[in-house]
Amino acid sequence: DAEITQSPRHKITETGRQVTLACHQTWNHNNMFWYRQDLGHGLRLIHYSYGVQDTNKGEVSDGYSVSRSNTEDLPLTLESAASSQTSVYFCASSETGMTEAFFGQGTRLTVV
Amino acid sequence: DAKTTQPPSMDCAEGRAANLPCNHSTISGNEYVYWYRQIHSQGPQYIIHGLKNNETNEMASLIITEDRKSSTLILPHATLRDTAVYYCIVYGFGNEKLTFGTGTRLTIIP
């Protein structure tokens, strides 16, 4: 069965380190999204992509970057991790043309 | 982006129908109404979507008003497992990014 997977599921890192969170989907979807969710809050869009070599900033993109070199993967990089980036991160994918989106299980990132 | 307004929380008795409202008065003609839910700390799950006609699937029904400025998600026979945060999202062709609001926290009461 097709799926979307995130790795790692949990990570602890130190302030100032570069961190990359992986997102891999096997649906061959064009659209991919990264969100963060803080305790008691909704999901906020970080970056999104409509296809290979396409990336766009969301509402909370500062301190994050993404690259889309193939259809299956959209890694999220924290250039220099800060304590304010402690959060749960969700990746999602959808096909072009308004179909439903599928979400990963989430990555819990703690920056100490 | 079209904005949505939902009540922050609702309760519903187990076995009864749960009716979750959503206002989207700035929706444009090519934008769909989508509903997702998030159970505890899991990733959001798609429920249903519609353009202007009422829709029904195995999980829920979606009622969209004729002017499309509001909609209601109906869970016909709520169970304890339906306790979750429900998100109403509006987006359309050419703007396919999913932007979540704060949603409605639905609690099913035994």
CB pairs A-B closer than 8 Å: 58
- For position B77, what pLDDT does the model report? 94
Q: Tokens at residue A23, please?
A: 């997102």
CA closest to B96 among chain A residues? A98
Kindly tell me if the per-residue pLDDT of A99 is higher than 80. no
Q: Please tell me if residue B86 touches chain A, with a CB cutoff of 8 Å.
A: no
Closest residue in chain B to residue A103, using alpha carbons only: B43
Token pair for residue A24? 């891999």
CA distance B102 to chain A (A): 5
The residues of chain B scoring below 70 in pLDDT are: 1-2, 93-94
Cβ-defined contact of A100 to B34 (cutoff 8 Å):
yes
Distance CA B27, CA A13 (A): 42
E strands, chain B, in order: 9-13, 18-23, 31-38, 45-50, 55-56, 61-64, 70-75, 84-92, 104-109
What's at A11, amino acid-wise?
A: K
* The pair of three-digit structure tokens given for residue A53, joined into one six-digit string: 């070599």
d(CA A56, CA A38): 22
Q: Which of B32, B36, B86, B98 to mutate to test the interface with A (most CBs of A within 10 A)?
A: B98
Mean pLDDT, rounded, for A23-35 = 95
Q: What is the mean pLDDT of residues A94-105?
A: 85
The rounded percent of chain A whose pLDDT value lies above 70 is: 98
Instruction: List the one residue out of B48, B53, B75 whose CA is nearest residue B63.
Output: B53
DSSP 3-state assignment of B104? Answer: strand
- Any residues with CB less than 8 A from the CB of B66 and at least 6 apart, and which? none
CA A5 to chain centre: 11
Percentage of chain A modeled with pLDDT above 90: 88
Query: What are the percentages of helix, strand and coil residues in chain A, rounded to 5?
Result: 5, 50, 45
Q: Please report the pLDDT score of residue B29 as a whole number.
A: 85
Test B100 with A35 for CB contact under 8 angstroms: yes
pLDDT > 90? residue A40: no
Give the pLDDT confidence score for residue B41 in this predicted structure: 83
Rounded to the nearest angstrom, the minimum Cα separation between A104 and chain B is: 6
Amino acid, res. A45? L
Partner-chain contact B100 A102, CB within 8 Å: no
CA gap A79, A81 in Å, rounded: 6
C-alpha–C-alpha distance, residues B39 and B42, integer Å = 6
